[in-house]
Amino acid sequence: MKLPRQCAALIGGLGTRLGSLTANTPKPLLDCAGRPFLFWVLRELSRFGIEEVVLLAGYKSERVEEFCREAQALLPKPLTLKLSVEPEPAGTGGAIWHARELLDESFLLINGDSWIDTNLARFFAAAAEVPDAVGYMLLRAMEDCSRYGVVEVSGSRVLSFREKPGIKQPGLINGGIFILDRAVLDYISPNCSLEKDVLPVLAAKHLLHAKAMEGYFIDIGIPADYERAQKELPKRLHRPAIFFDRDGVLNEDSGWVGSPDRFIWIDGAMEAVRQVNDLGYHAFVVTNQAGVAKGFYEEHDVAHLHRWMTGGLRAFGATIDDIRYCPYHPEAVVDRYRQHSEWRKPGPGMIVDLLHKWDAIAERSVLIGDRQSDMEAARAAGIRGTLFRGGNLGDFVRDIREPHTSGVDGQQK
């Protein structure tokens, strides 16, 4: 299966168990800490390389359309939102069928009223290693499965689904997150249930695999859990961040690295990013790119290299949440880049922008840099800086939550 860039989100249900709360509002659009619940879900998806979301709507679809216009202006990363409205209630499978013309060759599918806080990059990478699967689902271990159907597996292969046991017992449940190949459309009709009509057939044909993931899970389907989400979700999504300088930290600094053929990962760099993802921290990159100002390469080359970097990390089970670079230099050869900029380290601009856009916890955030200018930028932004002197970056990051001291001078890039 391919690493997904697109997600389809099921948001068409009536939400009857929430009573009057959903009388005029689709369940995923209910307010949670000042934003619709779905906003937080979309923000999390964008961290893991999802660039487009197709909202599979039904009930009160006009509210969803309004949400699309508002959300795109508030999300910290660009995310294309498309709307597919089923003409009448068609079930979870039918919602996919009605959106078939909008779907990629491989796409993520989620329930818009639930979320598991985990490193989805590991889930994506594991799915990519099962080329013959039509579906790959995320499972979660629960001590009490009384409210949920139970999934039986052998290794990664899904064997069967059992109905809600009705009594408290442990087991693996459907986490509401899937990667599906377009071939799934061969098993879907205009009105059907993905859970009841499609997934059991895929399992019987050995075409459905799964991975169990740990992490905080919330489903706002009942009033008690919706109230719990009001208090718990903001705490989960208000994260510290690890900021990585690029040249000399993530990759060898051979001077003006502007293309993949000149990019060599530092030992342990991919492992370091994945560790940060597993910790639940934001992983950001902040890099001075004076090579643009000096005419060695252009901004589109930087963008291409960063796409290549993040693609390699995704295949490894890691993700960079967001990247900032500064192409300006006071002695630029290219006129339009000749200026002083607060984004150029030792200025704090790139760090401050990311802290603000992602609402990250500055007092628990760290910048890993290889030069004194990085340390100065960290201090100016109000976060801790730690100097990477070389070696294995994965080993260096293992104790990243503990304070580091450097006292070593560096050279400004």
Residues known to be catalytic? 245, 247
- Residue 351: C-alpha distances to residues 283, 290, 375, 410 (Å): 12, 17, 12, 19
The secondary structure of 387-398 as a DSSP string is E--SS-HHHHHT
Both tokens of residue 11? 């948001």
Residue 142 is which amino acid?
M
Report the alpha-carbon distance of residue 259 to residue 389 in Å, rounded. Answer: 24
Report the alpha-carbon distance of residue 69 to residue 75 in Å, rounded. Answer: 11
> Who contacts 303 (Cβ-Cβ below 8 Å, separation ≥6)?
none
Q: Is the dihedral of CA 78, 121, 182, 176 positive or negative?
A: negative
Beta-sheet strands, E only, within 15-169: 31-32, 35-36, 52-57, 80-85, 106-111, 114-117, 135-142, 150-154, 157-162
Judge residue 83's burial from the number of C-beta atoms within 10 Å of its C-beta, 0-12 exposed, 13-18 middle, 19 or more buried.
middle
Q: Are 244 and 250 in contact (CB under 8 A)?
A: yes
The CA-to-CA distance between both ends of the chain, in Å, stands at 41
Q: Are 242 and 368 in contact (CB under 8 A)?
A: yes
- For strands 282-288 and 322-326, give the pairing: parallel
Q: Please compute Rg for the chain using Cα positions.
A: 23
